[in-house]
Homo-oligomer: A and B are copies of this chain.
């Protein structure tokens, strides 16, 4: 897979083509998806979650995921990530050549049943099957395998989830063969203190190296504050969605990924190198709005523009 760290301090992982597109009714044409992915990669985005291997009848918006993965793999230096709901999806992802596979495990069993229609034990069994499948591959063909702890900051159906349950599920994912676990604020319930607490809790179980990333929503406006808390704890991979499109259609009122443009601005303003050219990133919005004319795009930076005299992180380092 592509070098996910490279010279940069922070990996901004774009999830719009998966999380964004699965949350809206419109189906983006395959050619537009390719143009979007190519433009974001050209702007310096090093990892993009390009789709999900789910049955087309469930998510027709992502029915072209195999073709999109094949296309994205032709872009030099891009880590191509996909979501999979189960081992069958993982097999398809491996066949397509994905660099990274993410299996969500909702720590709220109620949400897991509503979302994936599976109990915790059933999801862990899928993780084990995926782990076994990956271990059987030659090392150079193995995708990075992440188990994503979703609804980890609370569930719209159950409320807060006990720490012990989260710790147990994180350990079970690692035992099943995951390379790492991620934290996902599916419901937009996180706050900075909860982010810090959860990182400490889960790292205590899986080790620091096996928790590097977080998926945050901006449902209650705290998305970037939560990102800052995660950065302060040493996380280095932050998911975001161009224009903030997307969220979780199964968690009522929980829409709204953090906005890639605003996140990259915050990071670069802080002197953290993302490798992303902000002006080029902002220009990608035109591709998405042209392909999805009826969808609302979010973000503050696109209207406010960069501050006068703004200096990207890499130029500060060079100065």
Contacts and interface: CB of A to CB of B under 8 A. Distances in A.
Contacts of A139: none
A301 B269 contact: no
Contact of A300 (B187, B221, B300): B221
A159 B269 CA distance: 14
Interface string A138-161: 000000000000000011111110
Interface residues of A, number: 44
A228 B192 CA distance: 8
A155 B220 contact: no
A304 interface: yes
Interface string A228-258: 1100100000000000000000000110100
Main secondary structure of the interface of A (DSSP, over half): loop
A49 to B, nearest CB: 22
A243 to B, nearest CB: 12
Given A160-B309, A193-B271, A266-B225, A188 B304 contact: yes
Interface of A: 154-160, 187-189, 191-194, 218-222, 224-225, 227-229, 232, 253-254, 256, 259, 262, 265-266, 269-271, 299-301, 303-305, 307-309
5 contacts: A156-B308, A188-B304, A192-B270, A222-B265, A228-B229
List of 4 A-B pairs having minimum Cβ-Cβ separation, nearest first: A159-B309, A221-B300, A191-B269, A221-B262
